[in-house]
Amino acid sequence: ITGDDAYRYSVAWVDSVHPRGRGVLTRGDHAPIEQLTGKAAAQPLAFDPKVLATAPAIVPGGLVNPLTMRAFNEMWFRKAPQRSVGDLQTIAEFFHPLDIVQDWNRVYGPQGFLQYQFAVPDDAGYLVGRSLAALRQVGALSALTVLKRFGESNPAPLSFPRPGWTLAVDVPSGVDGLATVLDRLDEEVLAAGGRLYLAKDSRMSPAMMAATYPRLAEWQRQRDAMDPDGVFTSDLSRRLSL
């Protein structure tokens, strides 16, 4: 992803199943009001996502397997034009393309899926390909694999973004060997000076949290000052010993 500083938003969908790697890069800016017509001009900030289908409620083994993932990724790659400039898209079309299928999480079956997202410095971009290869090796295939370049962090002590790369994958949680692969990737992310995304985390260790968020103690002091009785808590905060 180059030239992303010329756009407000840049995101790449990656075909994580394809052995040589390929993807679709989408970049955009806010459309000026004079470019809008019809309903969009009358209600430019309206959020009205379109639902084309609903995932079935009962899929015992889930629909995510090597065959369906190859078919889906091939379709998603082929439907994108080789080059298109100046298209107007709604907020839902640009930011939430999968929401055209209601309850899409059901396709992963009763065990659900696991989200894994890390951010690493620019010089550790090699972890993107290495991570996808490791997941592919154990059959943890992702339909929604997203790659972005981050700019500066914001001032918050637990801000996730940092200058560099971020990769996000959604994989079936019941894949054999998945935990071992992710533990190994955690170590590589830590060694590269990166961190995991708290908002999507369900498995990070307290040690990983403390090592990758160096301002954790500062946040804890602010938390204790604002909530001295510990009224606000969560499963995540207990798991990570926050």
Long-range contacts at 48-51 (CB < 8 A, ≥ 24 apart): 48/90, 48/92, 49/90, 49/92, 49/96, 49/99, 49/100, 50/92, 50/100, 51/99, 51/100, 51/101, 51/102
Residue 47's pLDDT is: 81
Evaluate whether residue 235 is within a structural domain: no
In this structure, the number of other CB atoms found within 10 A of the CB of residue 29 comes to 9
Q: Is-contact 129 23, C-beta < 8 A?
A: no
pTM value > 0.85: yes
Evaluate whether residue 189 is within a structural domain: yes
- Flag whether pLDDT at 98 surpasses 80: no
Predicted confidence (pLDDT) per residue in 25-71, tens digit: 889 899 899 888 888 888 888 887 788 888 777 666 777 888 888 88
Evaluate whether residue 210 is within a structural domain: no
Pairwise CA distance, residues 217 & 210, whole Å: 9
Evaluate whether residue 186 is within a structural domain: yes
Token reading at 206 = 């307290």
Q: Is-contact 188 196, C-beta < 8 A?
A: no
Q: Report, as an integer, the average pLDDT of 106-116.
A: 86
Residue 186's pLDDT is: 98
> Domain residues for 72?
4-203
- Concatenating the DSSP letter of every residue in 52-73 gives -EE--S--TT-S-SHHHHHHHH
Predicted confidence (pLDDT) per residue in 116-164, tens digit: 999 999 999 999 999 999 999 998 988 789 999 888 888 999 999 999 9
Domain count, the chain: 1
Evaluate whether residue 52 is within a structural domain: yes
Residue 193's pLDDT is: 96
Bigger pLDDT: 228 or 63?
Answer: 228
196: exposed, middle or buried (C-beta count within 10 Å: 0-12, 13-18, 19+)? Answer: buried
- Flag whether pLDDT at 100 surpasses 90: no
- Flag whether pLDDT at 221 surpasses 80: yes
Read off the CATH number of the domain in which 82 is found.
3.30.70.2520
Residue 148's pLDDT is: 92
Nearest CA among 161, 169, 146, 144 for reference residue 198: 161
Evaluate whether residue 212 is within a structural domain: no
Residue 226's pLDDT is: 96
SS3 state at 201 = coil
Predicted confidence (pLDDT) per residue in 161-192, tens digit: 999 999 999 998 889 999 999 999 999 999 99
Evaluate whether residue 239 is within a structural domain: no
Evaluate whether residue 147 is within a structural domain: yes
